[in-house]
Amino acid sequence: MSHDPNCIFCKIVAGQIPSKKVHEDGDILAFHDIQPWAPVHFLIIPKQHIVSMAQIGPEHAALMGKMMTLAPKLALEQGCRPYPEGGFRIMVNTGADGGQDVHHLHLHVIGGPRPWLKG
């Protein structure tokens, strides 16, 4: 599994920086965003250092499927109302033009009553 010693998310995975965990297994870590945009806002990241969505290949299909199928379960557990009245947003920023600030692939899961402060 690749790791970047200068990456803040790799440091969170390694336990060098604390986080408020939502979920953890052998492949994935989910934790609350430190600057939430909405009542529910957490990140889902692969433990493997993948720089961005632009670097995803066929070899990552199972990992991405696991991350995407985990999102609805965690969204409900964290307080999002069920579909169709409730719901949530999944956002993946990719590259400078896409607004990516941390260069480690991450899904933002955002939900709760609107209006939200951003986005």
DSSP letters of 34-81? SS-SSSEEEEEEESS----GGG--GGGHHHHHHHHHHHHHHHHHTTPP
Q: Quote the pTM value.
A: 0.95
SS3 16: coil
Q: How far apart are CA 108 and CA 77, in angstroms?
A: 15
Q: Name the residues annotated as catalytic.
A: 106
Structural class in CATH, domain 8-111: alpha beta
* Two tokens, residue 43: 């990140």
Q: Read off the pLDDT of each residue in 19-31 and give the average, rounded to a whole number.
A: 98
Q: Where are the domains of the chain?
A: 8-111
pLDDT, tens digit (0-9, with 9 covering 90-100), for 70-118: 999 999 999 999 999 999 999 999 999 999 999 999 999 999 888 776 6
Instruction: Give me the chain's average pLDDT, please.
Output: 95
Q: Read off the pLDDT of each residue in 20-27 and give the average, rounded to a whole number.
A: 98
